[in-house]
Amino acid sequence: MTVDTLVAVMDGTAIGTVARERSDRLRFDYTDAWRRHPDALPLSLSMPLVRATHPHAVIDAFLWGLLPDNEQTLAHWASRFHVSARNAFGLLTHIGEDCAGAVQFVPTERLSALQDQVADDIGWLDETEIGERLRALRRDPSATRRATDHGQFSLAGAQPKTALLRRDGRWGVPAGRTPTTHILKPATAAFDGHAENEHFCLALARRLGLPVAQSELHRFDGEPAIVVARFDRVEHQGRLLRVHQEDLCQALAVSPTRKYQSDGGPGPLAIIDVLRTHSSAPSGDVDTFIDALAFNWLIAGTDAHAKNHALLFGRGGRVRLAPLYDLGSALAYPALRQDKLAMAMKIGSTYRLRDIRRHHWETLLRDARVDIEPALARIAGMAEALPDHASELARRMRDDGLDHPILQSLPALLADGAREKGGRLAQFPGHDD
C-alpha cells in the first residue's frame, strides 16, 4: 500500500503532516490547532510556527537527519520494507514511531491506535537475548530490530546501535507511545575499544565541567556495549515523556550528507549564530559550544560535526544546547595518520589539528564576537587540568574492573596531547591569519 501522508505526532497530539506530492516532492503543514496551542513548539527551527507550510528542501533535510548515516543499514531497511534507500519518507513510514526528539511519524491509518494506546506495549528481554542482538548488530549494522518486534526506531549516526527501554532494572523493546530510554552501541571491529574510548571521553568532559550524556559500560551475556541514557527522555509524574530535540544540521535545514564543514556543512560561526538567535541562555550556550570545540581539539575528537551537536526544546519556547554526545579520541588508533587528523569544524583558517595555534582560536573568537581572553583562559584551563583528570579517571575505571587495553594507553596520550596544545596556546606569534 502506498502511503502519501505521514502525521507528525508529539505526546499524542498531531502537530502536522508530511505530504508526498508529484515527483516525490514533500511538503510539511502544521495543523491550525497546533499553531494556536499555548505549548506549541516547532518541529524544527528551520520550520517556524509563524508559517503553516514548509517546502521540500526543509522537511526533506529534517527527515534525513532522523535516519542512520549508514548506507548498508538504509539498503537493508529498503529491501525489508520494499522502498527506495533514497526515500526518507518511505523509510520513516515503517520506522518513524521512535525517533530522536519528541516527534513520531505515523501513517494516517495508524494515528488512532497510537493516540488511543493506554497500556505500555513492551517486549521484555533478558541479558542473553540482548547479547544475541548486540552480536548480530556487530556483524550487521542494520540488525537494529527483529522482524517479530512490535516497536521500530530510527537513530541518526554512522555507528551500529540499538535503542531499548530500561525500567526497574529490566530491558525491553517498546512500541507505540512508549519510548526507548537508552542507546546501546556494540563493540566495533573497525576501532577496537571504541565503546571504552567514548565512555572515557564523556566522563573526562564531565570532569572538566562540560554537560554530557550519561554513559556506562555493560556486558550482556559477555557482549560489551556502551549504554548511553537518552537526554531526550524524561520521567515526569510517573510518565515517561519524549523531549523534543534536533541536531544543528536539521536546525539549519542542511542535509546530513554535508554534516562536515569541509563538505559545505555548518561551521562554528553558523552554530553560534543559531545559539545567539534562539537559545534561552545564549551567552552560556555559546560559551559551552566554544568549550566543546576546545575539548574536541584537546582530545583529537575529529567527529564533532554539526550532527553531533543538538538543541533541546522545552515548554514556553525554551531552547538550549543539548549535552554533548558521541565523543571519542582519534589518538587511540595509531593506524590513523596522526599528522593528517582534522577537526570537523574549522578553527580560524585551518582544520588540521597539528596546525591549530593560539592565533587561530583568536581569529575564530573575534569572528564570533566572543570575548577573547576569557575564552582562551577557559581553554588553557582545560588543557592544564586534563592530564590529572585523565589519570584519576583511568585509575577509577581500573578500580571498577574496566580493563580494556585502550584504557591503559589513552589517558597518557590525552595528557601528552593536552600539554602540547596548552603550550601552543601560550605562544604569542607576531602575526594573525
The per-residue pLDDT for range 61-102, each reduced to its tens digit, is 999 999 998 888 899 889 988 999 999 999 999 999 999 999
Q: What is the pLDDT confidence band of residue 432, given thresholds at 50, 70 and 90?
A: very low
Same domain, 278 and 395: yes
Across 140-146, average pLDDT? 72
pLDDT for position 278: 98
> Do 67 and 140 fall within a single domain?
no
Q: For residue 147, what pLDDT is reported?
A: 58
- C-alpha cell recorded at residue 18: 508530511
Q: Are residues 89 and 183 in the same domain?
A: no
Q: Is 417 found in the same domain as 299?
A: yes
Mean pLDDT computed over 12-27: 93
Confidence of residue 177 (pLDDT cuts 50, 70, 90): confident
Does 337 have pLDDT greater than 80?
yes
Tell me which of 229, 252, 283 is where a domain ends: 229
How many domains are contained in the chain?
3
Assess contact for 409 and 332: CB atoms under 8 A. Answer: yes
Q: Are residues 394 and 261 in the same domain?
A: yes
- 350-388 residues labelled b (16+ CB within 10 A) or e (exposed): bbebeebbbbbbbbbbeebebeeeebbebbbebbeebbe
* pTM for the structure as a whole: 0.94
Instruction: Supply the residues annotated as catalytic.
Output: 303
pLDDT at 327 over 60: yes
| Predicted confidence (pLDDT) per residue in 367-421, tens digit | 999 999 999 999 999 999 999 999 999 999 999 999 899 999 999 999 999 999 9
Confidence of residue 431 (pLDDT cuts 50, 70, 90): very low
CATH code for the domain of 163: 3.30.200
- In this prediction, residues 23-42 reach a mean pLDDT of 95
Give the model's confidence band at 217: pLDDT under 50 very low, under 70 low, under 90 confident, else very high.
very high
Q: Compute φ and ψ for 95, nearest 5 degrees.
A: -130, 20
Instruction: Confirm whether 239 is domain-assigned.
Output: no
Q: Residues 99, 151: one domain?
A: no
Residues 109 and 201 reside in one and the same domain = no
Band of residue 139 on the pLDDT scale cut at 50, 70, 90 = confident
**In which residue are the cell numbers 549516526 written?**
157
- Asked, for residue 236, whether it belongs to a domain, the answer is no
Question: For position 430, what pLDDT does the model report?
Answer: 56
pLDDT of residue 151: 53
In a domain, 171, yes or no: yes
- Asked if 218 and 282 sit in the same domain, the reply is no
Determine the structural domain holding residue 409 and report its residue range. Answer: 244-425
Pairing of strands 182-186, 223-229: antiparallel
pLDDT at res. 152: 57
Question: In this prediction, what percent of the chain has a pLDDT beyond 70?
Answer: 94
Residue 146: pLDDT above 70? no
Confidence of residue 2 (pLDDT cuts 50, 70, 90): low
Do 112 and 129 share a domain, yes or no? no
pLDDT of residue 22: 82
